Structure formats: C-alpha cells, structure tokens
Structure 1
C-alpha cells in the first residue's frame, strides 16, 4: 500500500478507535511497537486534573463489567467534567460512558423513559422531546451526563421541584465484582436509596429509568431590581411561580430575577445570549474600579437600570438551561430554606466590607425535599447559594472566607462543587450516613471506586 498522508491519518484513526476498546490486532501492535500513551485529564474549569494509568470507553455493559474486573484502581467514571470537586482524579482508570448513551425505551402512558447513563442532558432533552416528553425540571447547565448529574444531586430551581435524582425510578449498576444489580423502590430498595446519589462510589451506573412528563412550554421572564426588593418578594415568588431564582451582582446592590411559568403561548424567537459578554464587562469593571467600590456600585447600577425586562416562550428544556462559556470554579451550599435570606445578606456584607475581588454574580435557588440518603436535600426544603470564581484566579481565599457562613447555617455542600468538609462533617449532616457507608462497603469492600478524595469523604483508609 502506498503510504500517503491520507492513508496515514486513516490508519492512525483506526488504531485509536480500536485502542479505546482494547482490541488492537497484532499487525497494528507491531506497527506501533511502543508504550501506550498516557493522556492527562482535567475538568472543565481546569481546577482538577490527573494522569490516569488507563482510559477506557466501553461500548456495552458486558465490556464495562470486564474492565471493572481487570482495570487498575481506583476506577472513576467521567462525564463532561463539570464537577469542581475532586470526584474524578485518579492514577488508576478513567471510564467514559459516552458510548453508552441514548434513550433505550419510553412508555407513553406512564411517561417513563429508560436511558443509557452516558447520555448528556442536552441530548436527552432533545430525544425526549422527539417522543413528546420532557423532564419536570432541568439544571441551568445541560452538558453533564445523566449519571453524573444524578450521582451529585444536580438540581434546578423551584420550591416544589426536587433534584434530578428524585425523578429516578430505577437503575442498573455494575459493581466492583462485575455483577449487574437492578434496583428500584421495590427491588433492592436500600441499594436504590443509596445509588440515586452515590458519587460513583457504589459502582458504575449503566441505565437510568426516569419519570418524565408530557412535553410542555414555559414563559421565561428576566428583570432587574434592588436586592432588598428581590429578597422581600422572594417568599411570595416561590409560591406563585413554577421556577424562581435570582443572581446578586457583587458591589451593585442589584439583582437579576428569573421566573419560568407554564404557558400555551406560541414560541418566541430565541434572544441573543449576552451573558458571557456581560460577565466580561463586570470583570473589566472590577479591574478598573476595584479600588473604588462606591464608584463601581454607581456605574453598575446605572448600566443595569437601563436594562428592560425580557420575556421568552419556548419548550422547557430550552428556557431552563443556558450556555456557560466563561469558565469558573464554584462553591455551592444547600441551606434550610428559612435561613437563606439571612445567610445571603451576611455573605454580601462579608465580601463587600472586605472588598473581595469578585465579579461573578451570586446565584440563589430553591429545591424541594427528597429522600435519597446522600441528597443534600434529604428531608429538608432548601435554598441553594452558589459563589463563583473566574478560572484563572485563585478561588481559595474567597471560598475560605464565605464557607464558614454556609456552615454556620447548617449548609450541606453540593457534591459536585468545592468544599473543605471531611467524613465527620458529613456524618453530622446526613441522617442516613451510616446506612450509605454499609451499602458502599458491601458493594465495594476493597474500595475499587474510591479515589483519595472519596476516601477522605467516607473515612476509608488506603
């Protein structure tokens, strides 16, 4: 065969594809007789990284089971890398579930759908819409895999709406022995309550059955008002709007409110997304006027007061999720709902009195109580407060300043976001903590799925 640049590229592409599933023929092995390339990994923000000994992307549950039995530990599944906590880093094996994606089946009567665990939320929303279905709620980022989203209790906003994990009605889980376990509220019920929010510590989820609903539209309204007015009106807005959240812009005294309510109105054109540009303008103002908070406040208020309210009507998955292209690291805690306004006021006072260099808005949402053992919303109606730091900046001083306030109000950290809590802290926050530990030890006695971070979370020695 004549060697051309095109042939060489095709040959290399074929070898790479075969290498991903571990089936390289002897002819290719001899042609590329060298050590396997070790490929570093890092998350979306760049805040977490590792160099695993092995990467794999199984195309079937059977192939996944074989990998779990033989691959170097710790074994960690990876999705879109949108977790900011060290859930993934390992010097063992990183498993991608990207080849285990798509809707397997759906029931048009019960509105339930069975979905492969590696399906990205944005793609899932589109596939469900083609079948006349939608999830009852969505987070504001839709790049995550379904398995990753439920494993960390990823949530949207809505006083009566729980996290995504609460809509799970069944799971298939491949354990450390390579065994596949099916669980639901009536089958292996304890495993089910543990596995809905598991941090990937029980095994690798391959399929998820979700309770969906008929496709529906929402009217999204966005507006600006003083933070005092936003907080005063918040309790009533939680009651009267399906989804309500707001963002406080640091050093401005102003907040951006967002509501979503069901409607039969016709869809409207999608507006131009200017969120990223707005963030970069706030960054510029911080750099120019960080030394003069009062001037910065006056200028931001002047700019924001000229922004008119905006409305959009579209199907739910298009109005609830937004594009986030400006990278950041994030800390988010879930507090008892009644403590939220006071905690937010204290956070604002702390960061502004200390003139902390920050421009990312503070996000404030609500979530209904649920029953999953490790859900931060376990048996508690909650509000969620999230702080962000630009990915090129050191987040530790800011997060270390604010985290004691979250803890003061008995907050539980989002599993996919940054915190400094350890095993004893979590044990005090979660009534079913010991039950989860027992389930984890029974399914993975050797800690095959525990990286150093999870060992610290669960108090398991190496």
Structure 2
C-alpha cells in the first residue's frame, strides 16, 4: 500500500530518530536578529526575504499613484532603488539613499480582449494577478513556482517558471512603461522605442522604475498537475523526453537519497479535483531533521530517506492555471541558480550531485531542475539558449558560502549563466562575456539615466 506525503513525513522522522546515534544539532543563530541601534542614522531598516541583504535608507517611500512617483523620483537626491517583495538574493536594492515601493499602485489597469493582453501595474504581486485575469477570461502564459514577487521584480531579473517551450516572464511583456530619472514617463514596445524595450525587458531596475507592463496572455485555462517520486536514474533517463512531452516539467533531487520528486503539468478540461495535498514546508523541515540526525552517515541518511520515499503515492491536482503553478514557500533560504545550455544541463547536475555526496557537503534542501525556452532579450540569461536551470538552496540560518563556492565552478564549467536575482560571484566584465548586446544595453542605460540615479553600489560594479 502506498504512502501519502504525510505518512512520509511521520515515518521518516521516526525512522531517522531510531537510527541516529548522535544528539540533534543545535539550531544556528538567525541572521534576522534585530541589528544594533545606529548612532549615526535613524530610519527603518530594509531586509530581503532571506535576510542576506539589508540597508538603512534615508527615505522609504510608497507613492499613492504614478504622478506622486514621478515627483518623488524627480526630486530624489542620490540613489533611488525600487523594492518589491524582497525575493532577490543579490544586492539589487541596498542603498543609503531612497528606496521606493509600488505596493500602493497595483492591479489590472486595462485589457484588450482581442489581443488577449492586459496592462498590469508593476507593483502587483504575481499571486494577485491570477483572479483578476481570470475574471476577464485571461491567464498568464507561465508563472514561477513562487508567486510572492511583484511583476516588476519578475521582469527586472528574468524570473521564470519551467517548460521547455515556455520563456521567462520577460519574454511575454508586450510593452513597458518607465518613469525615468527626470520623472518623465516613457512607453516602449516593439514598435515604439524598440531599443529601449529590448533593454527594459530585463534591466535590473537600472533604466528607471517600471510602472506598467502590458503582458501577452492566453485565454484562461486549467492545468492537471501530477507529482510523483521516482529513483534519480529513472528521472534522469526520462527527463528530456518528459520536458518535451509536457507543458511544464521539473524535478527536485533530494540530496543523499537517490530519489526525486517530479512535477508535470498539462492543460485539461477536467473538473477541479485534488488528491490529498500536504505541506511541503513541513517536508523540508523534516529533511532538515534527517540531516541533523544522520548527516554524519550518508549511508544511513540514504537508507532512511529512500525507504520512506519509495512508496509515496502520486499526487494529482486539477485547478485554474494560476492556482496550480506556485507552491507556498515559508521555509526561508538563500539560493544560487544557473541557467545552462540544455545539452549540458543534466551532465552538470550529475557532477553537482557527485560533488555534494562524495564530499558529504552540508545541504538538505532539494536541488531544483527546470527547463526554459530561449529568447532574444538583451540581458536575459536565456538569450539564444535553450536552458536547463539548476537551483541550489541553503537554509537561511546557515552559512551558504561553502556550499555555493563548491558548486558554482561546476555551473560555470558547463557554460551556465547566473540568475540575476540569485547569489553568484561574477563581476561586470564576466557578465559582459555572456551577453552580445551588453554594450548596447549600457548605451541605452546611459541615455536614460546619465547621472546614475538608479545605480546602487552593486549595479555600479556591473554597469558604470
């Protein structure tokens, strides 16, 4: 008889506890402890979701509308940075000067039924887009597996979901409105200001502040999502075929288990339906407990994980597309993700797995593997490249650097390009080597923001 996911959680916890000979390790101090009061400056400290980035800006603004935003940008002294949901791990936001949230300027501004397009305020979180679009008979063509990000933040960093025939979110932008350094609004698309549009689709917020995005959508649709457990060798053998056969496909390898969790999506006309759905956050924390108890013995760890996972039952969920893409992620982490040429992606994954397990590297988060279609956006990591994306996660209370330092050279060895919002060690010139239109982007950036108002220290290291 098959296990449910909750039975997996319970059995793995009991089994691991009985095998463990060492006490549970103590939990590391949180990185999100309140900082000591500053004697030099009074303000409200900003931190990103994981706590890996922070700053104490002089001004934190949330304009009520676009005219108020224009005034704020025009009058701002020093650096101005947009802040969304804080789900980027790189230093895109931190500044001592001004950060601006568009959290009060949200929703669907307009739509075109014939073109199946909708103009959406950039401060709108992805989670808040699905229902309004469904109400007008539309849906995003694809979504990431976390939906807390703002639409503007997604475009800024080329945020993506999975699907060998589906591009990153920026590739579905049909038009973009910016507020420039002077406080003026500027609209760009493939016909109007096309060079600016090619730069603005992925810009790290360095051209101006994106206020509206016209998204090319499709008619509302349902997805049948199936999730199952299988041995790693079986998944690797079938992965490329599954990616081509399904609208969306991805898999998560559980380190030290030899087992994968796989997910596929297909469009369907079935009625809404779901088997038992369990809390993935609870499962992740169970993996942490197994690591704490059995990390000293990779063989016992594999025995406990594999024995509990091999009989987990298949999970099926039929829902509106926007309800089926994302998973709730409450367990915080820091992340490194690289996008590799598709032909090299699974080879890179195999080497990453060997490196982690042969050296007993300290990690319990699943390794996420996704497929993404190439595009022609100037700074898209998918520029002219069909890609396999590999994401490595580290619990937010633990030092991510040793793990990432061990894995990043493998990502680069196989020609990977880092996700703009995920941690990496690359510098400006190294990025430039990936992007044939890098100098064209810099020219547009200088034209729109000649004084560098939108460049914080990290972006200056890239673009100045």
Indicate the residue corresponding to 2:191 in structure 1.
186
Q: Does 1:158 align with 2:156?
A: no
Which SS does the other structure have where 1:429 is aligned?
Answer: coil
For the pair 1:280 / 2:292, whether they are aligned, the reply is: no
Q: What corresponds to 1:228 in structure 2?
A: 233
Inter-partner Cα distance in structure 1 for 2:251 and 2:209: 35
Question: What is the aligned counterpart of 2:77 among 48, 60, 72?
Answer: 72
Aligned to 1:175: 180
After superposition, the Cα gap between the structure-2 partners of 1:270 and 1:322, relative to the gap in structure 1 and judged at 3 Å, is: farther
| Counterpart in the other structure of 1:356 | 361
Equivalent of 1:341, from 341, 346, 349?
346
Distance 2:243 2:427 in 1: 33
SS of structure 2 residue aligned to 1:284: helix
What secondary structure is seen at the aligned counterpart in 2 of 1:150?
helix
> Alignment partner for residue 95 of structure 2, among 86, 90, 99?
90
State the SS of the aligned residue for 2:433.
helix
User: How big is the shift at 1:338?
Assistant: 0.6
CA distance in 2, matches of 1:186, 1:417: 32
Alignment RMSD = 1.2
Instruction: Verify the 8 A CA contact 1:333 1:406 in the aligned structure 2.
Output: yes
1:204 is aligned to 209
Deviation at 1:270, TM superposition (A): 7.1
Q: Work out the CA distance in 2 between the residues paired with 1:193 and 1:273.
A: 41
Alignment length, in residue pairs? 425
For 1:198-347, what aligned pairs fall within 5 Å after superposition?
198-269=203-274, 271-347=276-352
For the 8 Å contact 1:72–1:92, the answer to whether it is kept is yes
How far does residue 269 in structure 1 lie from its aligned partner after superposition?
A: 3.9
Q: Contact conserved, 1:141 with 1:321, CA < 8 A, in 2?
A: yes
> Residue 25 of structure 2 aligns with which residue?
none
Q: Which residue of 2 aligns with 1:120?
A: 125
| C-alpha separation in 2, matches of 1:372 and 1:439 | 14
TM-score normalised to structure 1 length: 0.91
> Residue 60 of structure 2: SS of its match in structure 1?
strand
Q: SS of 2:252's equivalent?
A: strand
Offset of residue 445 of structure 1: 1.0
- For the pair 1:441 / 2:438, whether they are aligned, the reply is no
- 1:36 Cα deviation after fit: 9.9
Any idea what the Cα deviations from partners look like across 1:190-226, whole Å, max 9, x if unmatched? Answer: 0000001000000001111000111100100000111
Residue aligning to 2:421: 416
The match for 1:27 is none
Quote how far apart the aligned CAs of 1:37 are. Answer: 5.2
Q: Which residue of 2 aligns with 1:17?
A: none
Equivalent residue for 1:406? 411
Is the Cα–Cα contact under 8 Å of residues 177 and 185 in structure 2 kept in the other structure? yes
Aligned counterparts of 1:306 and 1:124: Cα–Cα separation in 2: 37
CA contact (8 A) 1:54 1:71 kept: no
Q: Of the candidates 29, 35, 41, which is equivalent to residue 46 of structure 2?
A: 41
What displacement does 1:410 show? 1.1
TM-aligned CA deviation for residue 271 of structure 1: 4.0
* Equivalent residue, structure 2, for 1:29: none
- The alpha-carbon deviation at position 72 of structure 1 amounts to 2.9
| TM-score computed with the length of structure 2 as normaliser | 0.90
Cα distance between partner residues in 1 of 2:410 and 2:459: 24
Q: Distance in 2 between matches of 1:216 and 1:378?
A: 28
Do the aligned residues in 2 keep the contact of 1:219 with 1:260 (CA within 8 Å)? yes
Q: What CA distance in whole angstroms lies between the structure 1 residues aligned with 2:345 and 2:221?
A: 30
Question: 1: distance between equivalents of 2:41 and 2:416?
Answer: 45
Instruction: Determine if the alignment matches structure 1 residue 139 to structure 2 residue 138.
Output: no
Instruction: Output the CA distance in 2 between the equivalents of 1:339 and 1:210.
Output: 31
Decide whether the 8 Å contact of 1:103 with 1:127 is kept in 2.
yes
Q: Which residue of 2 aligns with 1:397?
A: 402
Moved over 2 A (4+): 269-273
For the residues of structure 2 that align with 1:155 and 1:319, how far apart are their CA atoms? 15
**Is the CA contact (8 Å cut-off) linking 2:276 and 2:315 kept in structure 1?**
no
Aligned partners of 1:391, 1:153: CA distance in 2, in Å? 23
Stretches of structure 1 that go unaligned for 5 or more consecutive residues are 1-34
* Cα shift at 1:295: 0.6
Say which SS state the counterpart of residue 129 (structure 2) adopts: helix
CA distance in 2 between partners of 1:145 and 1:296 (Å)? 38
Shift of 1:73: 2.2
1:345-366 residue CA offsets vs partner (Å, 9 max, x unmatched):
0000001111111000000001
1:260-290 CA distances to partner (integer Å, 9 max, x unpaired)? 0011110014743321111111100101111
Write the distance in 2 (CA, Å) between the matches of 1:48 and 1:37: 19
Q: Which has the bigger relative contact order, CA under 8 A and spacing at least 6?
A: 2
Unpaired segments of 5 or more residues in structure 2? 1-39
CA contact (8 A) 2:275 2:315 kept: no
3-state secondary structure, aligned to 2:271 = coil
